[in-house]
Amino acid sequence: MRSAIAVTRPERKPPARWRDGWWSAARRIPSPNFGPRPEGTAVTLVVLHSISLPPGEYGGDAVERLFTNRLDWDAHPYFGSIRGVEVSAHFFLRRGGELMQFVSCDARAWHAGASHWRGSDNCNDFSIGIELEGLEGGSFEPAQYRQLARLLRALARRYPLRDAAGHEHVAPDRKHDPGPAFDWAGLRKALRGSALRLPQPA
């Protein structure tokens, strides 16, 4: 006699795919803060950042609002210090591993500012920016590292990436994120077999 309870199998998600620089594994939230890359420029670098708004507070929508020019500058005293800035990153990776994409990777996001890497200035021209929800100098969550490794592998299959570095490495006089608690060694281990070069421990 068959059971009256229907047995359902877990729904299989289709494999993540790229379309016009957008990755289907990320929630798409288009930002107006982007521009074209210089003609003929290869995407060879990933720049990792950390961000939380207000600093040290997680889980709200302030970062999403900042990257889409919808942040209420009067909603928190800290926001007044960044009033009017127009910035973006390609990706924002939350503490629990949720991934959002704001700019097509084929386009130039506004994340690195004045920067330099391996003989070239203006890293925004040839890089992909990934913001990790966190505090500069603070630790990050295992779910973030897992999702980051997955994203980096997908990016390396799509673009001619050579390096991943922190904002602190491309703008050392201005920036210090993601900071000393970021686990570069663990990320290197998670990316074992990848040709992507990561910073060596200090």
Which residue numbers are catalytic? 131
Tokens of 178: 């993601």
- Residue 170: closest CA among 91, 119, 116: 116
* Residue 200, CB-side half-sphere exposure with 13 Å CA sphere: 1
Compute CA distances 61 → 10, 66, 88, 94, 148, whole Å. Answer: 30, 9, 14, 11, 20
Task: Give the E-state strand segments of 72-172 in sequence order.
Answer: 91-93, 99-101, 108-109, 116-117, 120-121, 127-133, 163-166
Q: How far apart are CA 157 and CA 196, in angstroms?
A: 11
What are the residues facing 4 on neighbouring strands?
none
